[in-house]
Each structure stands twice: as structure tokens, then as C-alpha cells.
Amino acid sequence: ENGEEADGENTIVAGTAPGFPPFQMVEDGELIGFDIDLLEAVVDETEYELAEWEQLEFDSLIPALENENIDVIAAAMTISEERQEQIAFSDPYYSADQSILVQSGGDFQPESLDDFDGQTVGAQSGTTGETVVRDDLIEAGIVDEDDYTSFDNYVLAVEDLESGLIDAVVLDEPVAATFEAERDVEVAFVYETGEEYGFGIRQEDEDLQAALSDGVAAVEESSEYEEITSTWFGE
Ligand code: ARG
């Protein structure tokens, strides 16, 4: 927009991992979603300019940030202590728990993780859903390691669930609700994890981190946050 910024100093590249509706998905070849609109609105509040969006697999986002292929992650990424050893985050912009998704009207209708005995389960590689499977199902001795499938994205996991190849999928609650509305799957129960999403940045990019956090606050204070929420969550 502003010729003075065309020197590239303040130009940033964003990375995301589509297939996570309504936060990021590709429709008719176009990258759309809550995180796309929100990051664009947030960056508009700053001195930075968003040059382009890179689409990657979720578990490639942190390496791409560290390699400087991208400068910011906008991928419904949960702020976690483990990730904070590698990267920094903006202030949080959305809260979520995990949900257990099963086939609509199927035989497996669990009410808690204890009901998973002998079942097969899927999640996306590198996600907090996968952490629930590993820590609270496999480590807990409820599900066999061999009965877990790690998927490149949640669309593939939901397709295997619909066709009965797996019994359940663990994923973020707002995304599970979207799949429930659009596909032949339903939420069995919500597993409370109290997660918060933040934009990921390199630890040394403190100016960008501060600018994005200020931008999140500004967008939340204006009517924009509500507008973007209503666009993607219909309320
Ligand atoms: N919030 C979860 C996490 O941080 C899942 C994010 C998955 N995002 C995506 N774009 N596929 O691990």
C-alpha cells in the first residue's frame, strides 16, 4: 500500500495449514477462514505488511518459521510450554478445548476416554489432539499404540472416520463442530484442555511479537473481531 515500506524491511510472510475449518481452508482454490481474516486485520493495525500466505502441513510450520521461510504462523496453533521452548506467540486470540468425533449414529458412542478400550483413533500429526491421544490414551494404557493413526491433516482423518476405518478422531472443539455440521460425523463429548491460540513468531522477533499483540487488542476492541467471528461462526 505504502511505497515507503516496499523495501521489504517490514514485509512479512504468513504460514498456515488448511483443512482446519473454519480457521483455515481452501475453497475454490482460495485460502479463506477466521485466521486468514483475523491476521490480515491485525497486521493492518501495525507497521508491517503481509506479502503472502504459504500453505504447509501443520507439523512443518515451526521448522518453516525457524528457517525463515515464513515470519508468522496463523494456524489455530495452541500456545503451549513445549512450543514456547522453540518459538514465541502473540497474545491469545481464541480459546478452545478438544472434542471426540465419532461416526454419526455409529456403534462407538464414548462418554469419556475410559470408554476407548480396544478402539482405533486418529489425530493430525504435531497437534494438541495428538498429544491427548499419546498422553491420555496411549500412555494411560487405554489405547494400543498400533491403534493410533497420525494424519497429515484432519480432513483425511474425518474421511477415514466416515468410512469406518477408524473409530474416533480427537481435534479442536470448534473444528469438530464444523465437521459435525458438514459431514457424517458427530461430537461424542468435549474433553476440556483450556487451550488458547496465538500467532507464532521467532523468539528474536520481539518487535513483531509486540506489534501483533497490540494488533490483536486493537481488533478485539473495534467491531472487527465480532465481524470476523460472525462471518466464520455465524454468530
Ligand atoms: N490447536 C491445535 C494445535 O495447536 C490444532 C491446530 C491445527 N491447525 C491446523 N491448521 N491444522 O495443535
Name the residue ranges covered by the structural domains of the chain: 3-93+198-233, 97-195
Q: Using 50, 70 and 90 to split pLDDT, how confident is the model at 1?
A: very low
- CA 36 – ligand 1 centroid, Å: 14
Dihedral sign for Cα atoms in the order 148, 150, 153, 156: negative
Residue 180 to residue 125: CA distance in whole angstroms: 21
Contact between 233 and 96 under an 8 Å Cβ cutoff? The reply is no
Residue 137: strand, helix, or coil: helix
- The architecture (CATH level 2) of 97-195 comes to 3-Layer(aba) Sandwich (3.40)
CB-defined site of ligand 1, < 6 Å = 17, 20, 24, 58, 75-78, 124, 127-128, 172, 195
Instruction: For residue range 137-167, list pLDDT tens digits in order.
Output: 999 999 999 999 999 999 999 999 999 999 9
What is the predicted pLDDT for the residue at 139?
98
- Which residues touch 141 (CB under 8 Å, ≥6 apart)? none
Q: Using 50, 70 and 90 to split pLDDT, how confident is the model at 208?
A: very high
What is the predicted pLDDT for the residue at 6?
45
What is the predicted pLDDT for the residue at 2?
40
What the block records as the C-alpha cell of 44 is 493492518
Asked whether the predicted pLDDT for residue 7 surpasses 70, the reply is no
What is the predicted pLDDT for the residue at 8?
61
148-151: strand order across its sheet: 148-151, 121-124, 168-172, 94-103, 185-197
DSSP for 69-92 reads S-SEE-S-PBP-HHHHTT-EEPSP
- ipTM of model: 0.98
Is the backbone peptide bond immediately before 22 cis, with ω within 30 degrees of 0?
Answer: yes
Q: What are phi and psi of 219, to 5 degrees?
A: -65, -40
- CA 198 – ligand 1 centroid, Å: 11
Buried b (16+ CB within 10 A) or exposed e, 28-58: eeebbbbbbbbbebbbebbebbbeebbebeb
Mean pLDDT of the chain: 96
Instruction: For residue range 20-60, list pLDDT tens digits in order.
Output: 999 999 999 999 999 999 999 999 999 999 999 999 999 99
Mean of pLDDT values over 97-113: 97
Choose one of 59, 84, 127 to mutate for the ligand 1 pocket test, by most ligand atoms within 8 angstroms of C-beta.
Answer: 127
Mean of pLDDT values over 70-77: 99
What is the predicted pLDDT for the residue at 9?
74
- The architecture (CATH level 2) of 3-93+198-233 comes to 3-Layer(aba) Sandwich (3.40)
What is the predicted pLDDT for the residue at 235?
60
